Amino acid sequence: MTHNRSLQSLESCIASSRFSRRGLIRTSAAGLSAAMLATLPGGRLAGAQDTGYGGESVTLSYGLWDAAQKPGIDKQIAAFNQQFPNIKVEPTIVPFDDYWTKLQTGVAGGQTYDVFWMNAPNLPVFAAQSALLSIEPIVGDGGADPSKFPAALVESYTFDGTLYGIPRDFDTIALFYNTRLFDAAGVDYPTDAWGWEDLRVAAEKLTKDGGPWGFGCLISDQQNYFNFIKQNEGGLISDDFTTCLIDEPASCEALDYLTQFFTAGWTPSVSIMQANDPEQTLFPAGQIAMMPSGSWNARTFGEADPAIKVAPLPKGKQRACMIHGLANVIWAKSPNQGAALEWVKFLAGEEAERILGESATVIPAMQGLQEDWVASMPDLDLQVFLDAVEYSFPLPSPPSGPEWRDKIEAVLIEGWSGNFPAEELCTRAAAAANEALSS
């Protein structure tokens, strides 16, 4: 039953205007882009499988940032090599913080990965500079089928009417919690009935002076504060991507709600999180009782401590969380475009997506394969991440790139460190973001 519900919810979110509203700004309508994908120009629809790869020996470099996914990717490569024994795929893992620096300098220097991971916020940056190869030659019968993937995610990888990638996975946000710390403090576990006040009260009870802390207020928009702003029906950015709306009263209210966790000491202070990564250290080590985090962390947390469980994010004025997904894209100047297209086509196919689901790291984006992922970690109620799709909002991705989010983050770090009065938080953040959006 729940399985069916999740698939329906996935379907409904694809159809729902709320889910796709922001993602669809750049082209006129969802139907239009779906139609574009279904009938590609040049009559390439039928037998559109001419990638230009002729069976020669080729080594493809494959750039990515998440080391936890390496085992699954190795399996994908092994399966790919059954079909294409002469294409050697060499994955290179660069940590997320340095990934974009390295990628952009590599593209500029004419030497980068043939195929690499792309996220929605950076797609317009690279597509606008003609750094990416259109994948339309591999879309069609027997090739990649965009209609099997969430439309809003497909849309995030379309730029000026051209498709540059098929989503490989998607992620939503939920509340992870450590049952041992809840038991020790005698607090009831989070449920899907929780609201903001429940979270606040529990955080207070769970906090001990000097740690552990009740709540992990991550310095992360995707995993933390954007979700709360959306739950409070606050704005993030205007539909035309020119103005940051984080200074709307509802957005400010959400930020103020989070600020109190710092002022009351219910979350590790900014400097403690600066010294100890909450996702890598504090939460898995049992120093934080509950923390909102992305579905991609489920495996790391679950393996670190069997006492860690997961519940939906608490509800504000409405249920809300951020959704995002990665895609595999091809470098426009790759000398091995034929082989790269074959690899990307394989990655967008059912076999590769199934391996991804079974590897228990991220949620495969192809419809119908999410259950493999849910079943891959039976000790965690991963269904909450699929249920969250229904009330999720895509990460806004203006064409000027992700710098506006960096600016907000930098302001929040200073504000939550107490370096300026808390009431200036949202106006300062909006001003900094607007500067980035206008430059």
Partner 1 sequence: MVVASSLAQVRRRGRFGLTVQARSEARWGYFLVAPMMIGFAVFSLFALLASLVLSLTSWDVLSSPKWVGLDNYARLFSDDQFRTALRNTALITAPNVLFRMIFSLGLALALNTDIRFRSFYRVVFFMPVITMPVAIATIWKWLYDPAFGPINAFLARLGFPRPEWLANPGTAVIAVVIVLLWSGVGYDMIIFLAGLQSIPKEYYEAAQIDGAGSWRRFRDITLPLLTPTTFFLMVIAIISSLQVFDLVFIMTRFGAANRLPTVVYYVYEEGFRNFRMGYAITMAWALLALILVFTLLQFRLQRRWVHYA
By the rule CB under 8 A, 263 interacts with partner 1 = no
SS (H, E, C) the chain: CHHHHHHHHHHHHHHCHHHHCCCCCCCCCHHHHHHHHHCCHHHCCCCCCCCCCCCCCEEEEEEECCHHHHHHHHHHHHHHHHHCCCEEEEEEECCHHHHHHHHHHHHHHCCCCCEEEECHHHHHHHHHCCCECCCHHHECCCCECHHHCCHHHHHHCEECCEECCEECEEECEEEEEEHHHHHHHCCCCCCCCCEHHHHHHHHHHHCCCCCCEEECCCCCHHHHHHHHHHHCCCCCECCCCCCECCCCHHHHHHHHHHHHHHHCCCCCCHHHHHHCCHHHHHCCCCCEEEEEEEHHHHHHHHHHCCCEEEECCCECCCCCEEEECCEEEEECCCCCHHHHHHHHHHHCCHHHHHHHHHCCCCEECCCCCHHHHHHHCCCCCCHHHHHHHHHEEECCCCCCCCHHHHHHHHHHHHHHCCCCCHHHHHHHHHHHHHHHHHC
**Taking contact as CB under 8 A, which single stretch among the options 30-38, 100-108, 141-149, 379-387 is the one that binds partner 1?**
100-108
By the rule CB under 8 A, 95 interacts with partner 1 = no
By the rule CB under 8 A, 147 interacts with partner 1 = no
Out of 78, 108, 193, 307, the only residue in the binding site for partner 1 (CB under 8 A) is 108
Count the neighbouring beta carbons within 10 Å of the beta carbon of residue 333. Answer: 14
Out of 275, 318, 375, 427, the only residue in the binding site for partner 1 (CB under 8 A) is 275
CB of 102 to partner 1, least distance (A): 9
Size of the site for partner 1 (CB under 8 A): 33
**Which is nearer to partner 1, 130 or 191 (by Cβ)?**
130
CB of 209 to partner 1, least distance (A): 11
Out of 31, 41, 161, 211, the only residue in the binding site for partner 1 (CB under 8 A) is 211
Out of 136, 155, 169, 409, the only residue in the binding site for partner 1 (CB under 8 A) is 409
**Taking contact as CB under 8 A, which single stretch among the options 76-84, 85-93, 122-130, 315-323 is the one that binds partner 1?**
122-130
- Contacts with partner 1, 169-208, as mask; x by CB under 8 A: ----------------------------------------
Which residues, in sequence order, are CB contacts of 204 under 8 Å at separation 6+? 214, 264, 266
- Contacts with partner 1, 276-315, as mask; x by CB under 8 A: x---------------------------------------
CB of 268 to partner 1, least distance (A): 7
CB of 184 to partner 1, least distance (A): 19
**Which is nearer to partner 1, 106 or 325 (by Cβ)?**
106
CB of 145 to partner 1, least distance (A): 31
CB of 355 to partner 1, least distance (A): 33
**Which is nearer to partner 1, 104 or 367 (by Cβ)?**
104
Residues 150-169 that bind partner 1 (CB under 8 A): none
Residue 370: closest CA among 5, 1, 2, 3: 3
Sign of torsion, CA 249 250 255 260? positive
By the rule CB under 8 A, 126 interacts with partner 1 = yes
**Taking contact as CB under 8 A, which single stretch among the options 99-107, 161-169, 224-232, 239-247 is the one that binds partner 1?**
99-107
By the rule CB under 8 A, 105 interacts with partner 1 = yes
By the rule CB under 8 A, 111 interacts with partner 1 = no
Binding site for partner 1 (CB under 8 A): 100-101, 104-105, 107-108, 125-126, 129, 131, 210-211, 219-220, 268-276, 403, 405-407, 409-410, 413-414, 417, 419
